[in-house]
Amino acid sequence: MKKALLAATLVASAVTVSLVAAPLASATGWDRHDRSAVPFTEATVTAGADGSFTLQWKARGTDRVQIRANGKVVAKGGSQGRAVVTGLPAADRQWFDFKPGHGQGLRLADRLIKLDGTANFRDAGGYRTSTGQWVKMGEIYRSDALNKLTGNDLAKLQRLRVRTVFDLRMEDERTKDADKVPTGAAYVVADVFAGSGSFQTMPRTPDEAVKAMVDAERAMVSGAGGKKAYTQVFEGIERDRARSVLFHCTAGKDRTGWAGATLLTALGVPRETVEADYLASNDYRKAANDAILSRLPAQQAAVYKPLLDVRPEYLNAGYDEVASKYGSFDRYLRDGLGIDARELKELKKDLLVG
């Protein structure tokens, strides 16, 4: 328990759609210098528990948007709108093609990948950068531990083209709860805390627990294990153009959270978006965390809660360590992770749309 806790989104006949379209936005009145190949400034797909999908979008400089699923039009509207689509057949992952009247479209799905053996397996893409490009979905995934994956889960990941799995956990975690990986996928140990001394003793108070999490975040940036592990992940992402690549830890929130934050920041995703993605683990893991805390005495639960949470101050500690040790994020990428300007340009070319 101790170690587990520590490491602790007008149609074919079979489809119906409810559409609420907002008034058309003017194609004028926005900075033409901000025009990008992809006119969407917002676009999301959210799967409902009843099998429905809620689609929302905003697009500049176009008066119509059409959305297809499985080759059929399932929603359409103006430059901004919301649609609820029902009646689609079951699929490993339901994709939607957002096509604007002008410009390049997007291929999106719900971010969460539903598996029987995980709670926090999700797509690292689907976010807009500060330059108006979008991070591709279906290329890179992040997750909690894989030791509880079922046969069906593994078959699903194989169909989703998961080809490389990076395990960011410590040796005792890997030994106790060994990963299950899909057939044909390469398994790579990338131990973030190797040799760091992080989490060797239990905190005794909530304040000590918060400090432990902040210190661990800093170690992810400047510790030898963290630099080596995240270098491995980035090299794997760059090398495996046939993807998909998956990185994970135990809860999929801290070591995995910094890997996700580093990737999105490197690709140009705004800091506030990166933080929102990081904090989403609180929502995806709420049921699991609540179950753990409910079994503990109140005083002990108060100490454990900061260990189970993700908080802005934890993520900020990572960025602060980058500023302190490297001066800038670009220098962290170059000097800490070995990603030079040419490699970063290639990474963006490969992973961005627009």
Reported as a single tens digit per residue, the pLDDT across 271-321 is: 999 999 999 999 999 999 999 999 999 999 999 999 999 999 999 999 999
Phi, psi of 170 (to 5 degrees): -75, 165
- Report how far residue 65's alpha carbon sits from residue 75's, in angstroms, rounded to the nearest whole number: 8
Phi, psi of 200 (to 5 degrees): -85, -25
Is 278 found in the same domain as 178? yes
Give me the pLDDT at residue 16, please.
Answer: 35
The average confidence (pLDDT) of the chain is 90
90, 110, 130 - which closes a domain? 110
Is residue 101 within 8 A of residue 121, CB to CB? The reply is: no
> Does residue 208 lie within any of the structural domains?
yes
Give me the CATH number covering residue 202: 3.90.190.10
pLDDT tens across 94-147, in order? Answer: 999 999 999 999 999 999 999 999 999 999 999 999 999 999 999 999 999 999
60, 93, 110 - which closes a domain? 110
110, 140, 175 - which closes a domain? 110
Domain that holds residue 268: 113-353
Domain count, the chain: 2
- Report how far residue 31's alpha carbon sits from residue 12's, in angstroms, rounded to the nearest whole number: 38
Phi, psi of 296 (to 5 degrees): -110, 150
> Does residue 7 lie within any of the structural domains?
no
Is 342 found in the same domain as 205? yes
> Does residue 5 lie within any of the structural domains?
no
Is 270 found in the same domain as 187? yes
Is 214 found in the same domain as 91? no
Is 147 found in the same domain as 75? no
Is 17 found in the same domain as 156? no
